[in-house]
Structure 1
Amino acid sequence: MAAKRMFNIKLIKSDAFTSMPLSTQALYFHLNLEADDDGFIGNPKGVQRFVGASDDDLNLLIYKGFLIKFDSGVVVVKHWRMHNTLKGDRYVETAYQEEGSMLYLKKNGAYTFDAEQAVTRLENKWNQNVSKMFPQSSTVQCSVVESSKELLLPNKENKGEALPPPIATATIETVKQQHTYIPPSGIYVEIQNLYNNICIKLQPVERMTNKRKRFINTLLDNGFIISDFEKAFRRVDESEYFNSLKDGQWKPTFDWIIQEDNMSAVLEGKYDKSFDFKGGNAEKKNKFNNFKGRGYSSDEMQNLERKLLSQ
């Protein structure tokens, strides 16, 4: 592994990056320092603990698309090849070849699972020889491009020679089915479980609809993290106002809580205490006369309304 690492200033100064918490940004820098020469990190949790970051910080980097996570727990810096370039005599191939075989390179150099966005598979020393990586007897399937010359990335080893002809003929759809990657799914499930486990007095969430996912995405895009959801659910559960609501009255739901204005209001404590609707015996001022106004309770108002309607 090289002793020096570089960062692309356009990515580091982007709104998507700078809008994240400083702890998340710090974790990203340390993960880049820990990565091998292809951008893979085998111990992201260890790096997270080392810098004192939280699970939310790591999950946010994955959700925002700065990291790609594999089922094995390994992560790779998505824009690694936009950050770093290494000379052939300094390059050390990654040990995570199985994970690397799932990746493609986009035109801008970013890693992706989506073959439709790619110009080639991950190019490095351990897959320069396509016939070794995908022998004809192998059952491994990959997508191919008709012109192998378009995939050529000249270097010291191949000197600009054309790559061997493609030997796998599987469709792009086959690859997408084998390597489907949906990082936000775990976040949705985690938020759903937090709500169901904390707000046990409210209607539970049975399924995560696309509409609910959009609300959650909006909150995450605007800087909310997993711990904010947990705090909001606990404040709703412990709220004096919400707990004072009787059966038959409106009560908060998951869909109400995850709307941005409502989430902010809950976190700011606007519903912590019960509102004084009765008014007690407090005098009500009337600008038209000096008579004392009467303070009606909600029950008294309902009884009065029934009497008026029955006449």
Structure 2
Amino acid sequence: MAERRMISRKIAEDDRFVDMHPVSKLLYFYLVLNADDDGFVGSVKMINFLTNADQNNYDELLENNLILEPTKNGVYVITDWYAQNKIEPKIYKATEYLSVRALLFIKTNFAYTTNPDEKDIISPVDYWIKQGRDKKTPPEIQAQQYLEQFQETSKKVPRSVEETSKKVLAQNRLDKNRLDKSRLEQNRPDQTKKEKINKENNYKYINSSSNGGMGETLLNDGSSASSIENNATTENKGNSAVDSGTNQDSINSLFNY
């Protein structure tokens, strides 16, 4: 933390400051002295001990807009910090309370505010600090520059989101087509192999009983196992009829004898 801080005569001799209680004045000096490079004070126990300040003194500073409403963690912000202090970029160290700073806006008189609807706002504090904490360029020009930057960013965001969505959908369709094609190529050899096995099973060769087993009968795809069984049954019946006729002739010849 720096050993020296600046306080403007414009603040110290203003009526709102002169009319305050002496302890409140001393409290303000110690808050400025112990603030970090962005004007934030996170620990006030030692300050309260040195100044004998209580909550009434903090409320008085708050009523005169010399400090902002403290956070739940007890972080106090010096309202006119950048109106009084100028810290060179080489030695500047950003505050550790970035979540608090993200809620603030910088005004044309370089004072902090938490109200984004005020007319004399330059930009959010984070943007202003990112741009180099410029206090030389007229605040009106800085406000116009931020407005143009904000409008340009707003135009790009929806388009970029739409383009990103289209790219994602197109990539998903491409990946799906590739996956379907890969599955088709994998299934094609299996299907061909299956058809070949079925064809071989349908084409069966059996010995023909009509030619004494010397020939073969080819069954095509239209043949079935039931037809084969029917043919075999018919042949067996024919053979049984021949055997019966032969036996009858033998009996008749025996009687004749």
Relative to the length of structure 2, the TM-score reads 0.50
Bigger radius of gyration: 2
Higher helix share: 2
Relative to the length of structure 1, the TM-score reads 0.42
